[in-house]
């Protein structure tokens, strides 16, 4: 029941790109250094993000990564699922295979509810929201609401 480091690093990395400004090309090396994420690992993570179309990559001198969309159009769900694959609380929720438990398994409904809630939270929060929500590091954690007013977002 955890978001993996890879997922976490992915969001952090994209957030770094977002802060550097839209369209800005940034090298893995910088992101790695400033966000304190192992470079090789981050490189691998960004590969997934590139394949998912969340970033564009450029090779060679002056190369690096840039966001492929506006920060407000990239949800944390996009990022996490690009890296970890679809969020699925249980096997029965990811495959068409039937639940093997006695008579209509009562748990599937429950797991599905939980899963939906999580996906909702992540799909409502974009990189833009996270940028706004940065807390001043010393203040006694005001409100942990990363905002919600993202209107019409086509979740997934």
Q: Considering CB distances under 5 to 8 angstroms, the limit depending on partner class, which of its own copies, DNA, none binds residue 107? A: its own copies
SS3 109: helix
Q: Of 46-54, 68-76, 94-102, 103-111, which segment contacts DNA by CB under 7 A?
A: 46-54
Q: What are phi and psi of 17, to 5 degrees?
A: -60, -45
Which tokens sit at 100? Answer: 């093997």
Pick the closer one to its own copies by CB: 29 or 35. 35
Q: Minimum Å distance from CB 136 to DNA? A: 27
Picking from 79, 52, 74, 81, the residue whose alpha carbon sits closest to that of residue 127 is 74
Phi, psi of 55 (to 5 degrees): -130, 160
> Site for its own copies (CB under 8 A): which residue of 50, 52, 66, 105?
105
* Contact mark string toward DNA, 89..128, x via CB under 7 A: ----------------------------------------
**Using N-to-C axis directions, what is the helix angle for 5-19 and 39-51, rounded to 10°?**
80
DSSP, residue by residue, 67-97: ESS-GGG-BHHHHHHHHH-S--SSGGGTSSP
45 DSSP assignment: H
Select from 21-29, 48-56, 59-67, 87-95 the region that touches its own copies (CB under 8 A).
Answer: 87-95
Stretch that binds DNA, among 43-51, 101-109, 123-131, 135-143 (CB under 7 A): 43-51
Give contact residues for DNA (rule: CB under 7 A). Answer: 4-6, 27-29, 38-41, 43-44, 46-47, 50-51, 57-65, 84
């Amino acid at each position: 029941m955890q978001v993996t480091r890879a997922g976490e690093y992915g969001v952090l990395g994209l957030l770094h790109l977002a802060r550097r400004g839209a369209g800005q090309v940034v090298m893995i090396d910088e992101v790695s250094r400033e966000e304190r994420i192992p470079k090789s690992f981050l490189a691998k993570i960004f590969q997934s993000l590139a394949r998912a179309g969340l970033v564009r990559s450029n090779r060679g001198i002056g190369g690096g990564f840039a966001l492929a969309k506006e920060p407000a159009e990239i949800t944390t769900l996009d990022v996490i699922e690009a890296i970890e694959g679809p969020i699925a609380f249980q096997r029965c929720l990811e495959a068409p295979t039937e639940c093997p438990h006695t008579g209509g398994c009562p748990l599937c409904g429950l797991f599905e509810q939980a899963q939906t809630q999580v996906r909702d939270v992540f799909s409502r929060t974009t990189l833009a929201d996270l940028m706004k929500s940065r807390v001043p590091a010393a203040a006694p954690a005001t409100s942990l609401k990363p905002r919600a007013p993202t209107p019409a977002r086509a979740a997934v």
